[in-house]
Structure formats: structure tokens, C-alpha cells
Amino acid sequence: MSQKILFVDRDGTLIEEPADFQIDAYEKLRFVKGVIPAMLKLRDAGFQFVIVTNQDGLGTEGYPRESFDGPNDLMLQIFESQGISFREVLVDCSWPADKAPTRKPELGLVMHYLRDRGIDLDHSAMVGDRETDIRFAENLGIRGFQLKTAQFGGGWDWAGIAHALADAPRTASVRRKTKETDIRVEVDLDRVADPKVSTGLPFYDHMLEQIGKHGGFALEIQTTGDLHIDEHHTIEDTALALGEALKQALGDKRGIGRYGFTLPMDETLAQVALDFSGRPYLVFDGSFQRERVGDMPTELVEHFFRSLCDSAGVNINVQVRGDNDHHKIEGSFKALARALRQAIKREGSELPSTKGAL
């Protein structure tokens, strides 16, 4: 799993900025309100931290290096004592007039992050107190947050930033278009809403609605497929798109329950165990007597589960027993939904794996 980075300015962002804009003495060291609890929350949400700071003329007679190092080292030690460490501290010592390529908003100091495929820039962010920090974020292609200060404006505080990044709704929108099908799937795993499903196959719609309803999340699916040929592409491709949407919305999977469900339906007993392990594998133990239930071929029930399994990167084990094929199919979809409900529920911020990635 790629790593999320929170790039942070130093003066005015982590520590308060004095009137002369230089923290060159211990007595000038003051932490910005709320920074430590917010960064602990972001650490637990999977972020690593990188300081990127402009220090005008650092190393010159007017701003000796030793007057910077003492307060800076103490700041880092205090953060470390509270469980917050920094992956890197990147300092540009130039003057604004130098127009150095390493000075924010330029990217000279962070070019190695652009080349590192292990970095998740899509979910990384920058926090600063100046407009140059926001331009830096734009140049890097990440989200920028400008802290609210009397000196430079801005509209965010640290608590709000931590909420926006750590508690962000897990949503995804997937468009899958081939010569056979045109599909749009939208999910919001943290919102309950009536499912909206249209595939051209009413029984299949009914089964997919079970996933949203009993899964406890907002689900919208709109599928146009080549039903004049048969149902195969519509059922398969919709499952693939749904699986991809679930995978995207779960992100790094921190805090999820991961596993799940047994469900009775009249004479039928359906059991679905699943694991968002990142390793797709399906076991389907069940059979059907009828060729079709409604407009859905029963041979495509297992195929639905396999397609979903492959695109979501989930291990699914299905066992279903009963006499009525309608009940057996619906029970399987409902059991899948309840298993998803258990597995996607956020219960904290820990990654449920000893491997360090899912």
C-alpha cells in the first residue's frame, strides 16, 4: 500500500511565528493551538509527516545556523516525546529575491517524492499558513490547507484539517464502459440511503438493492448492457464495477472490521464469510435446480460473486442450502450485504493486519 504524506510548513503552522519571522531563541518557541492532538489523529490515520520550510538567509550573519538549530531540535524532541516523528525536515535557506528552485512554492526540495511510486500523492496534503504553501500544494498536485492566522488569513484550524483528512467519507465513483456495457457505480460507505439500481434486469436489480440496503451504505448503479444478446455481460461487468468502487472507497482499509455473516431465509441458510485481504479468492458451495429466477440465469450467480471478488480484491466463501432457488439467491446476496456491513464498518484507525498492508 502506498504511503500518504502530510507536508507541513514550520513557522506559523507547527510553531507560532514571531513579529520578526525568526524563531532564533528558545523563548520564542510556542506551539500552534491544537497541532499535537491533530497530528496524532493524522498519524493514526496512516499519514507520515515531512516539514518543508523557507528560512530566509539561514546561515548568514543575521541568522546564524546555531540560533536556528537549538529551538528547532527542541521542537522536534517535543513532538517526538508525544509520538510524532518526521520523515524528513527540508529547509531552504535562500532569500525570496534569489528565486531558488528549492524555495516554496517551487518543488526542488521534494522532487524525490514525485518520483517515488510508493508515495500516494492522491491522498497526501500540505498544511501551511501562507499563500505560497497553497501554491506549493497546487504545484505538487495535492490538497492544500491554509491555517487561519491574523497575519496571512486562511480559513482552517488543526482540528478541522484532521477531521477533513482522517474522517473523510469513503466514497467512490466508477465508470466502466466497453463495447458491451456502460456502467456507473457510486458508493458512500459512511452514508445510509435507499439504493438506486437500474440494470435492465429487474431480479438482478432486486439483488443489488439488497447489497446497499443490508450493507448499510449508499449505493447507486446505472447499467446499460447488450441484453439483446444475453444477460452475461450486464451481470459480470456490473459486478466488476461494483467491486472496483468498493476497493476505491475503502482506500488503505484502516479501521475496518475486515471480516463477516450467516443469514436464514425461510428454509434456506446462506453463509458468507469474507476478508478484504487484497487477495481475491472465491469458494462457492451451492447449486440451483432452476435455469433462471426471474430474468437472471442461475449459472451467473456464482459468476457475479467471482467477478466482485476479483475486482474488489476480497476473499469470499459462500455456502447456501435450501429448496427454493429464489430464496437461495436472495439469501446469498443478503448474507453478502451483511458481511460487507460488518467488514467495512470503521472501528478506529488501526490497520487490521500484522503485515502492515492490505
Q: Which residues are catalytic?
A: 9, 11
Torsion of CA 128, 133, 139, 145, to 10 degrees: 40
The rounded distance, in Å, linking the Cα atoms of 255 and 358 is 12
In this structure, what C-alpha cell is assigned to residue 297? Answer: 440465469
Among 234, 228, 242, 175, which Cα is nearest to 199's? 234
Q: What is the 3-state secondary structure (H, E, C) of the chain?
A: CCEEEEEECCECCCECCCCCCCCCCHHHCCECCCHHHHHHHHHHCCEEEEEEEECCCCCECCECHHHHHHHHHHHHHHHHHCCCCEEEEEEECCCHHHCCCCCCCCCHHHHHHHHCCCECHHHCEEEECCHHHHHHHHHHCCEEEEECECCCECCECHHHHHHHHHCCCCEEEEEEECCCEEEEEEEECCCCCCCEEECCCHHHHHHHHHHHHHHCCEEEEEEEECCCCCCHHHHHHHHHHHHHHHHHHHCCCCCECCEEEEEEECCEEEEEEEECCCCCEEEEECCCCCCEECCEECHHHHHHHHHHHHHHCCEEEEEEECCCHHHHHHHHHHHHHHHHHHHHCECCCCCCCCCCCC
Residue 169: CB partners within 8 Å, gap ≥ 6? 188, 189, 190, 191
Evaluate whether 198 touches 204 at the Cβ level (below 8 Å): no
